[in-house]
Amino acid sequence: MKAVIMAGGFGTRMRPLTCNIPKPMVPVANKPIMEHIVRLLNAHNITEIVAILYYQPEIIQDYFDNGKRFGVHIEYVTAVEDLGTAGSVRNAAEYLDEPFIIISGDVLTDFNLSNIINFHQEKNALATITLTRVKNPLQYGIVIVSPEGRVERFLEKPGWGEVFSDTVNTGIYVLEPETFKHIPENKEFDFAKNLFPNLLKEEGALCGYIASGYWRDIGNLEEYRLAHYDILSGKVSIDINGMKKDKTLWVGKGTELSDNVYLEHGVIIGSDCRIGEGAKLVNTVIGDNCIVEGNSRITNSVIWDGTFISLGCELNENVVASNVTVGRNAILKEGALISDGCNIGENSVLRANVKVWPFKQVEAGATLSSSLIWGEKWGRALFGTNGVVGLANMEITPEFVAKLGAACGASYSPNTTVITSRDSHKVSRMINRALISGILSVGTNVWDLGALPMPVARYQAGTLGDQGGIHVRRASNDPRMLDIKFFNATGLDIPISKERGIEQLFFREDFRRAKIEETGVLSFPYRVMECYREGFLSAIDRPNLKKNFKVVIDYCFGSAATIFPSILGEFGWDVISLNAYLDNTKFISNPAKMNQSLKQLSNIVQTLGADIGFLLDQEAERVSLVDEKGQILSPEIAFAVVCQMVAQISPLATVGTPINTTRIIDQMLPGRVKRTKTTSRGICEEKEPFLVGDGNGGFIFPKFRQIFDGMFAVVKILELLSKTDKRLGDIVAGIPPFFVSHRTVYCSWEMKGTMMRQLIEKTTDKPVELIDGVKIYHGQDWILLLPDQNEASFHLYAESSSMERAEALIDEYVGRIKQ
């Protein structure tokens, strides 16, 4: 008698455990499932085996080789396409010239195979199906057999209305070689769906043997866990590695158990493991080469090889795959699953039934409440510098933002209102709709503004939404990413305290659910653009505007094209518009594309003899400038030029700018510069200055709104040019040279605070500013060390009389950070 092991399945329902290995290689009691089958076959003197492979065949072949190590001989047949169960076996017909038994490589059983084979031979059957009785037959083929063992009726995976028996097909068959006459070559053909119904028509050809003993189809993660519980409780007879210490305890060779280790119920510990003092293992399997540090509690769990469980962890009903690190005091709730090579940070929490796909990182202190599939890591916080940011439809998914919307809505009182808006891309529309659903579910109302520029949404925040708003857009530096911006009723980014409140609700899932009659109301306001347009025009000094400007504006296919041309039409200028239509396929997402667009704008300005050129980013928050000579102004020069115009026309006007911009601004406006933090909110909070700029294309005129608005900046710059009565190029020529350098260097999270303290302590002889980071003055030169809010790094900015000296200053402090 020969055997065929069906080992070609994808294991889709077992993912993510089967992302890197085929399902027959998933360990059960520290051995691949298929090894238990091979050993069962050998125990019944079946030593000639054919393995049918398909998915990741090399992993199975590398492990079993020719089978000699297991006392058998194995031949491998790798399918080139999916031909079904019977079709795959038909491909191996050259090896099967005598009766053979077929068994799946992903079942756990201790059936007496010899009895099955003897029954088949006694009945002189062409095919025998091994049967067993189960409580829920819906997911199996059900069978009725006569008292003589002949199959009378067969139905694959019925509904309850079709159930006529609790006797099911186990997928273990004994066949005669003659059955190949009933299986077509190179055609998809299945045993249960095709062959057996056909054989039913031939009297006596198909028999069924009802086996006694243990059998479980390990088809999904729940069955996988239950199989281990059955092993540990002694319900199935299989070979387990290690020395049996008592009835339900096995310990592998080289394993060290510290004092006061508590082992309860069934426990299997693999070879070369170390279990720390005070650890408690209950009904658990630990793989080879694992470390479980002291005071950890592991209950009803399966841990694969090479995994490190740190001090004080709590695991309950979990599966943790190979080479995983679980940091100190981490908590894994019921049903959480971690796949290969992951790093779970200390003090992190994985909520119930969360799945972490291979090679992911959960940061220290983070709470993971939904499965981590596509992104590389899950942070300790939802909010970063740019709001909530992630890969579109992978990290920022509809289910994620529905929950985020519920947390946000629940942070406000019932029956209040927020506004929502988005850019024009279809993925932003999808995410925005899911977000709205979450907000409405907790009884908060929504005014949805649809697709419009970000400045318009912020402008409308106080008018329509008494609690502010949320804007969904593609990230400016990567079209694959989305960022979700939250702002209050004044249009400013919400404060950190509000972000933390939303995060707590999100991670705790502690938000109210409105009764059906109390769910929020979704409304769609009208005259949104008109309201913004009226406020815009009222804030411009129209009588002092020149009428003869010739202006070129590149809209970069952004949403400003839906409103700004009509506003510019009010001023009577000669405006040439470029790319003034929405096109989501032409996203300017990197410096190279931006430079290309600016060069094109420069050429057109020169060719047409225009006075000035502007390039708006796709959200109309920032603007780049080109002078009448076609010279492209860097963002720093552009801000300096606007400050110079302010200094000329308004001797008392003040300017706000972050701590990291050039000292030239202070020289232009002595005593009239207010330095701010570098964050968007820190910049926008300044109410008093005439102008606020970030030196990166962002301009704010607080008398209009405390928001970055590239459209308003365009008209305001033209107003300033009108009042100075100079050409832009002449003002640029009057700006003295300055040299600011920037570099980012790695610094671990743990060392950031220490580094800041040490820098302050070591520079007591030099003037220091602590507005944002540490700014240290070296005479006229300065250097700013600014910890990144989202990454394990520092930003270093330095200004000097030459770029070489600025770089040297940065080199000096990089050396200090790396010491």
Tell me the three-class secondary structure of 21-87, residue by residue. CCHHHCEECCEEHHHHHHHHHHHCCCCEEEEEECCCHHHHHHHHCCCHHHCCEEEEEECCCCCHHHH
User: What are 482-533's pLDDT values in tens digits?
Assistant: 999 999 998 999 988 899 889 888 877 777 888 999 999 999 998 899 999 9
User: What are 216-243's pLDDT values in tens digits?
Assistant: 988 888 889 999 999 998 888 888 888 8
Last residue of a domain, one of 700, 733, 766: 733
- Asked if 148 and 115 sit in the same domain, the reply is yes
How many independent structural domains does the chain possess? 5
CATH of the domain at 460: 3.40.120.10
CATH of the domain at 125: 3.90.550.10
- The token duo for 469 is 């708003």
- Asked if 193 and 300 sit in the same domain, the reply is no
- Considering only CA atoms, give the Rg of the chain: 35
- Asked if 595 and 699 sit in the same domain, the reply is yes
CATH of the domain at 365: 2.160.10.10
Residue 235 lies in a domain: no
User: CB of 605 within 8 A of CB of 613?
Assistant: yes
Name the helix (H) or strand (E) containing 532.
helix 528-538
How far is Cα 572 from Cα 404, in angstroms, rounded to an integer? 46
160 has pLDDT over 50: no
Residue 229 lies in a domain: no
pLDDT at 163: 42
Per-residue confidence band for 194, with pLDDT thresholds at 50, 70 and 90: confident
User: What are 726-770's pLDDT values in tens digits?
Assistant: 999 999 999 999 999 999 988 876 677 777 888 877 888 889 998
* Cα–Cα distance list, 187 to 40, 82, 218 (Å): 31, 9, 27
- Asked if 645 and 686 sit in the same domain, the reply is yes
pLDDT at 370: 81
Per-residue confidence band for 444, with pLDDT thresholds at 50, 70 and 90: very high
pLDDT at 156: 61
Mean pLDDT of 464-493: 88
User: What are 84-114's pLDDT values in tens digits?
Assistant: 888 889 988 889 989 999 999 889 999 999 9
- Asked if 61 and 141 sit in the same domain, the reply is yes
- Asked if 94 and 161 sit in the same domain, the reply is yes
299 contact partners, CB below 8 Å, separation of at least 6: 280, 281, 282, 283, 284, 315, 316, 317
How far is Cα 765 from Cα 762, in angstroms, rounded to an integer? 8
pLDDT at 627: 97
User: CB of 347 within 8 A of CB of 364?
Assistant: yes
Q: Is 631 helix (H, G, I), strand (E, B) or coil?
A: coil
Mean pLDDT of 168-189: 90
Residue 797 lies in a domain: yes
pLDDT at 161: 45
Per-residue confidence band for 435, with pLDDT thresholds at 50, 70 and 90: very high
How far is Cα 796 from Cα 788, in angstroms, rounded to an integer? 10
Residue 231 lies in a domain: no
Mean pLDDT of 342-371: 88
- Asked if 179 and 293 sit in the same domain, the reply is no
pLDDT at 376: 55
- Asked if 689 and 613 sit in the same domain, the reply is yes
User: CB of 638 within 8 A of CB of 665?
Assistant: no
Residue 230 lies in a domain: no
How far is Cα 525 from Cα 522, in angstroms, rounded to an integer? 10
782 has pLDDT over 90: yes
- The token duo for 30 is 């520290």
335 has pLDDT over 50: yes
pLDDT at 217: 87
- Asked if 545 and 683 sit in the same domain, the reply is yes
User: What are 446-463's pLDDT values in tens digits?
Assistant: 999 999 999 999 999 867
How far is Cα 708 from Cα 684, in angstroms, rounded to an integer? 8
Last residue of a domain, one of 470, 492, 526: 526
Residue 403 lies in a domain: yes
- Asked if 191 and 294 sit in the same domain, the reply is no
- The token duo for 250 is 């096995």
Mean of the per-residue pLDDT values of the chain: 89
Residue 190 lies in a domain: yes
CATH of the domain at 799: 3.30.310.50
681 has pLDDT over 60: yes
- Asked if 359 and 444 sit in the same domain, the reply is no
User: What are 1-25's pLDDT values in tens digits?
Assistant: 899 999 887 777 888 888 888 999 9
Per-residue confidence band for 137, with pLDDT thresholds at 50, 70 and 90: low
How far is Cα 457 from Cα 422, in angstroms, rounded to an integer? 9
Q: pLDDT higher for 414 or 802? A: 802
374 has pLDDT over 70: no
Last residue of a domain, one of 733, 755, 779: 733
- Asked if 701 and 554 sit in the same domain, the reply is yes
Residue 233 lies in a domain: no
Q: What percent of the chain has pLDDT over 70?
A: 96
**pTM for the whole thing?**
0.68
Per-residue confidence band for 204, with pLDDT thresholds at 50, 70 and 90: low
Among 397-401, 686-690, 694-698, whose mean pLDDT is lowest?
686-690
Q: Domain of residue 767: give its range.
A: 739-818
